[in-house]
Chains A and B, each alone.
Chain A
Amino acid sequence: MFIIKYKNIFLMIGVGIMIVSLGLIFSLGLKPGIDFTGGSLMEVAYDNRPAKTLLEESLNELDLGVYSLREADDETGRDVFMLRTRALTDLERTSVEEVVLTSDSGGAVTRFTSIGPVIGNELQEKAKWAIGAVSLVIVIYIAIAFIGVRWPVGSSVYGAITVLSLAHDVMVPTALMAVMGYFYGVEVDVLFVMALLAVLGYSVNDTIVIFDRVRENIVKYRKEHKKTVNAPGGITREEVTYSFNKPFGEIVGISIKDTLLRSINTSLTTALALVALYYFGGDVTKNFALVLLAGVVAGAYSSIFFASPLLVWYAEWKEKRTAKSS
């Protein structure tokens, strides 16, 4: 299998993707939306949209602090203004409405969201906890699911590698968000966190399927050596050791080949549904679909080109170390 043969190259590509992603995330930064910072977002649809400068002039007279007024189209194709401000009280909202609903513009407030800073902070905390909890639960589950596997590498190694590739799968869509935020002002909202958590739960499947096959193939291609050892005290016990008919790398290679079509096809069907959601769905879920799409593609890639080579690399490294020490 070429993936195993050139595993060092693929591992470097994987690490490269992660470094670039992290670089993008930290240099460009994520733009937190009002879900997390608190604030108000008002969407006003017009038959006859007034000039932006006109509204800004009147808005400046209100004590709103820093605000942003942006022209856009809404779902129904009407001209809208999106007004972002700090969290408004009910009274402030009424005075803002008076300003933006100028006469003979046929304007109506179609969407208004106001989130207090307390709720925003709390959501931020919750998001961190949720991502941490999902990762932790997945590691524990995989370590348990693969608990019978001891040789040539233990079950916790499978768990650790899965988490590393999950990190990869999360970094890619997050970097995409950072880029979109930098160039198009896209903000990180609750939907983004939901998409990330869904990516965590879904992408791990690809890795699990390959590792599941590795687990099966280890049993298939190994030879058992039983040896009766005379222990002190006249007791005899049986010692079982294993050796492979094929090198471990080849077994992992076979496992990838066995599951390759499955990995591609399941990711493809999910991607098809997400592409449909992106092109035909409402504006509110467009970025959600895009983040998920990036996560699903990254997940399929990482399970084949990163997790599997890493498993072989680790097993070989461990073998070399054991050989050296003995």
Chain B
Amino acid sequence: MATETGGNMIVRLFYALLTLAISAAVAFFVYQNVFTPDTKYPFKLGLDLSGGSHLVYEADTSEINPEEVTELMNVLRVVIERRVNIFGVSEPIVQVESSSVVSDEQKERLVVELPGVTDVSQAVAEIGRTPLLEFKLIDEEALAEAIALESISIEGATITASEESADPYTDTGLTGRYLQSAQLQFAGQGGAGGLSNEPIVAITWNAEGAALFEEITANNTGKRLAIFLDGEEISSPRINERISGGQAVISGGFTPDEARDLVQNLNFGALPVPIELVSTQTIGATLGSEVLEKGMLAGAVGFALVMVFMLLWYRLPGLVAVVALLTYVAVMLALFQLIPVVLTAAGLAGFILTIGMAVDANVLVFERMKEELRDGKSSREAATIGFKRAWSAIRDGNVTSLLSAVILFWFGTSMVKGFALVFGIGVVVSMLSALLVTRTLLVALPDRKRDEGIIGRLYESGLGK
């Protein structure tokens, strides 16, 4: 038996139980998230598993001052994002991607992901559409009526057709075509009206627009003028007076961010950068869910095979490795939910691969441990030495795997990134599971030499007796 006092044993058992409790808690967290609808931390599925469209647009930035490219791409993203939102897609992703350092010229791309959308033509048309900036007069009475009607119809009452047809918005003929520029200002700064320091949007019309605007404001003082972008009302300032000279100010209690967005929207009603569709990917929802189901089955089978092998070959330490592997899977799934990692078919494959690799460190330690046991050491001492000796190999092996994961991530299109992320996190988590879980549990097991009773034999491995 070991030379340590009983007190140490209690501490070790405590740590072992704590480890098991934490693992169980993590597993429970994952379980709960899977079976609770509307959970805060669901698994995020990539388009290839959930179905949807993935569009890549390339922006033609050749005509643009390089210094402005980043900002303009951002504006482009905002514009497209709004169009996609109007489209009614749940959780669309619109992001700017710069082509990597390896290509000769920097290319700016816009990636649009539309979950659930398999009719690409419609999506493409919607995104490529030229947006419309419109100014419409509001008939307050009709508007109030429309709002009232809306609330009535919500209550389920019937309404007559004649009342319904009153449109509160009247076209003025003034559109984004006449806008020269819009600018963000702060009240008090340029002598314009409003509360001091309130962000306001200053509009400059071209000559034609200025005349039209003057006429509209003269005839409709006191009314509100609604500004529509892509059919969506973004602001409805009140006309305070007749405005001549081609200048207008929109003050509407904006936050600085809102005002800046509005300026961008006004200035870039049209897309700031011409774009071209360079890549399309669409996957039907049934096909995606089939791939997901098969992937999960493959994961479960792979997991079971590795567990059976570890139990049969390494016996008692094998059982410890199985617990560590269970912890590994639970922690990985929890991370997928928490970070959240977008799971793709490739990511799923990467995860299954890491299940096979995760016991690597365990095997290294167990083999080392066996050598020490054969030298006549007790199991606990052998485990401690085993960890110490195996560390350099575990470290070197994992560092190289991790480095490849980092380069893969950098290499990455979104599919590759999904794989690289899972692979990289897997390497780190599996190393931690071996160092923390396996080690804690191993030293809490009964301390025996290899020829001491049945338990002692359980430390043996493979086809040995």
Contact = CB atoms under 8 A, between A and B. Distances in A.
B281 A269 contact: no
Contacts of B405: 201
Given A205-B397, A262-B363, A270-B353, A118 B309 contact: no
A275 B298 CA distance: 9
A66 to B, nearest CB: 20
A1 interface: no
Contacts of B62: none
A190 B416 contact: yes
Contact of B397 (A190, A208, A213, A265): A208
A129 B305 contact: no
A297 interface: no
B349 A202 contact: no
Interface residues of A, number: 75
B339 interface: no
Contacts of A280: 294, 297-298, 301
Contact of B290 (A75, A145, A258, A269): A75
Contact of B278 (A116, A208, A277): A116
Contacts of B323: none
A32 B284 CA distance: 25
B280 interface: yes
Given A133-B407, A272-B306, A122 B360 contact: no
Contacts of A94: 121
A279 interface: yes
B349 to A, nearest CB: 4
A141 interface: yes
A83 interface: no
Interface in B281-316: 281-284, 286-287, 290-292, 294-295, 297-299, 301-303, 305-306, 309-310, 313
A288 B291 CA distance: 14
Interface stretch (B6-14, B95-103, B261-269): B95-103
A281 interface: yes
20 contacts: A75-B290, A75-B294, A109-B284, A114-B280, A114-B281, A122-B102, A126-B100, A137-B400, A202-B401, A208-B396, A265-B367, A273-B302, A273-B356, A274-B353, A275-B302, A281-B297, A281-B349, A282-B290, A282-B295, A284-B48
A194 B279 contact: no
Given A93-B280, A129-B102, 16 more contacts: A90-B120, A109-B284, A110-B287, A118-B107, A125-B102, A134-B403, A134-B407, A194-B419, A197-B408, A201-B402, A202-B357, A208-B400, A261-B462, A271-B356, A272-B306, A285-B345
Interface in A19-64: 43, 45
Interface of A: 43, 45, 74-76, 90, 93-94, 108-116, 118-119, 122-123, 125-127, 129-130, 133-134, 137-138, 141-142, 145, 190-191, 193-194, 197-198, 200-202, 204-205, 208-209, 212-213, 216, 258-259, 261-262, 265-266, 268-277, 279-285, 288-289, 292
A15 to B, nearest CB: 24
B302 A272 contact: yes
Contacts of A126: 100, 102-103, 411
Contacts of B396: 141-142, 145, 205, 208, 212
Contacts of B305: 272-273, 275-276
Contact of B356 (A133, A209, A262, A269): A269
A261 B367 contact: yes
Interface residues of B, number: 77
Contacts of A265: 313, 363, 367
B218 interface: no
B295 A285 contact: yes
Interface string B390-427: 00110011011111110110110101100110010000
A122 B349 CA distance: 25
B382 interface: no
Contact of A141 (B310, B403, B423): B403
B352 A276 contact: yes
Contacts of B397: 204-205, 208-209
Contact of A119 (B56, B399, B423): B56
Nearest to B404: A201
B359 interface: yes
A127 B416 CA distance: 11
B346 interface: yes
A284 B291 contact: yes
B102 to A, nearest CB: 5
A271 to B, nearest CB: 7
B352 A122 contact: no
